[in-house]
Amino acid sequence: MQCIPASQTNHAEYSYADKMGVKDTALEVRKGLQKGISVLGIFTGRNEDVCDAKKIYGHNLVYIKSPEKFADTVGVMLENELYNILT
CA 1/CA 38 separation, integer angstroms: 29
To 5 degrees, how large is the angle CA 67–CA 1–CA 51? 50
Range(s) of the domain holding residue 72: 3-86
pTM: 0.74
Structural domains of the chain, count: 1
DSSP state of 7: -
- The bridge status of strand 3-4 relative to strand 14-15 is antiparallel
| Cβ neighbour number for residue 54 with a 10 Å cutoff | 17
H helix count then E strand count, the chain: 3, 4
pLDDT in tens, 8-66: 555 555 666 788 889 999 999 999 999 999 999 999 999 999 999 999 999 999 999 99
DSSP state of 9: S
Give which of 64, 9, 61 is closest to 33, Cα–Cα: 61
